Amino acid sequence: MPSGSLTGDGQVLIYHLRDVMMTRMAEGIEFRLTVPSLQISLGEKIALIGHSGCGKSTLLDILAMILRPTSVGAFRFRPEKEAAPIDVAKAWSQKDLNFMGDLRKHRIGYVMQTGGLLPYLTVRDNINLSRQLLGMPDDGTVEELAKNLGIERHLNKHPDLLSTGERQRVAIGRALAHHPSIVIADEPTASLDPIAARKIMALFVELAEEMRITVIIASHDWKHIKQLGLRRLAHRTTQNHAGTVTETKVTG
């Protein structure tokens, strides 16, 4: 089995990152996200906790392969237990955009803070969107997800007729519908009241666990995330004496 595809206790890694860095400049200040080492096993539930501006969304976009880092030592992605790890760093260096696009489309589900639903599509069609793009059959998956998410009665409505919490449930359903290897969620309940947020987050994690999908969630509510059994990634943000460089280092 290829190097970097297993943990010390024999678990299969979906992600193996080493010496990954992303830098950005804004108003004379350099913002730097560094990942010296990160290993995430297939089926794990991961939490990235931190304040706004600490680099959570940047890391999620890198893991979703939407954003190409400034430099990469190693980036391997293994979406299936029996498959060989994919060398994402090599694909980036070769600028193989079609390969990267297909990888995201088939293997990754993404839940944004605002849901990102298409307003001109019904709830049913929003949930079914990824499946339709992949040519997957109409096998009752959409209806089953809607039932589990408590939005079955809204399937023929448009998003503007739903509450904020209901729209987020639709977004979660859409991210899970094509049975991706991993679902990444960026503060998916940030716009909800605490009671609704905790209920939806628990439902999301439960569904992903039932479907054996790896989950990575960015959140600011560590107390609740911990109760759901997620592993927290360690990160530390520092600033140099001159205030010209802010760096967040993530390990896990």
Which among 105, 107, 106, 141 is positioned nearest to 124, based on CA atoms? 141
Q: How much is the pLDDT for 155?
A: 98
Q: How much is the pLDDT for 6?
A: 59
Give domain status of residue 7, yes or no.
no
Give domain status of residue 141, yes or no.
yes
Q: How much is the pLDDT for 158?
A: 97
Q: How much is the pLDDT for 5?
A: 66
Give domain status of residue 181, yes or no.
yes
How many of the other CB atoms lie within 10 Å of CB of 186?
Answer: 21
Q: How much is the pLDDT for 7?
A: 55
Give domain status of residue 133, yes or no.
yes
Which among 172, 195, 50, 56 is positioned nearest to 109, based on CA atoms? 172
The domain total for the chain is 1
pLDDT tens per residue across span 66-98: 999 999 999 999 999 988 999 999 999 999 989
72 vs 89: CA distance, rounded Å: 6
Of 113 and 39, the structure prediction assigns the larger pLDDT to 39
Q: Which long-range contacts does 96-102 make (Cβ < 8 Å, 24+ apart)?
A: 100/65
**Across residues 222-232, what is the average pLDDT?**
83
Give domain status of residue 108, yes or no.
yes
Q: What is the CATH number of the domain that holds 68?
A: 3.40.50.300
Residue 133's pLDDT band, with cuts at 50, 70 and 90, is very high
Q: How much is the pLDDT for 238?
A: 85
113 vs 136: CA distance, rounded Å: 26
Q: DSSP readout, 16-75?
A: EEEEEEEEEEETTEEEEEEEEEEEEETT-EEEEE--TTSSHHHHHHHHTTSS--SEEEEE
- For the cut 70, the answer to whether the pLDDT of residue 1 exceeds it is no
Q: How much is the pLDDT for 229?
A: 87
**Across residues 23-36, what is the average pLDDT?**
89
Contacts of residue 86, defined as CB under 8 A and 6 or more positions apart, other chains included, come to 76, 77, 78, 79, 103
Give domain status of residue 2, yes or no.
no
Q: Report percent pLDDT > 90 for the chain.
A: 65
Of 52 and 41, the structure prediction assigns the larger pLDDT to 41
Tokens in use for 26? 């804004």
Q: How much is the pLDDT for 74?
A: 97
Which among 229, 167, 217 is positioned nearest to 196, based on CA atoms? 167
Give domain status of residue 191, yes or no.
yes
**Across residues 186-213, what is the average pLDDT?**
88
Q: How much is the pLDDT for 187?
A: 87
Rounded alpha-carbon distances, angstroms, from residue 232 to 57, 59, 156, 209, 223: 15, 14, 38, 17, 11
Q: How much is the pLDDT for 4?
A: 55
**Across residues 210-228, what is the average pLDDT?**
86
- For the cut 70, the answer to whether the pLDDT of residue 2 exceeds it is no
- For the cut 90, the answer to whether the pLDDT of residue 159 exceeds it is yes
Regarding beta strands 71-77 and 13-26, do their DSSP bridges make them parallel or antiparallel, or are they unpaired? antiparallel
Q: How much is the pLDDT for 3?
A: 47
Residue 241's pLDDT band, with cuts at 50, 70 and 90, is confident
Mean pLDDT of the chain: 89
87 vs 70: CA distance, rounded Å: 16
- Tell me the whole-structure pTM to 2 decimals: 0.88
**Across residues 158-186, what is the average pLDDT?**
94
**Across residues 234-249, what is the average pLDDT?**
83
Which residues form the domain of 176?
13-251
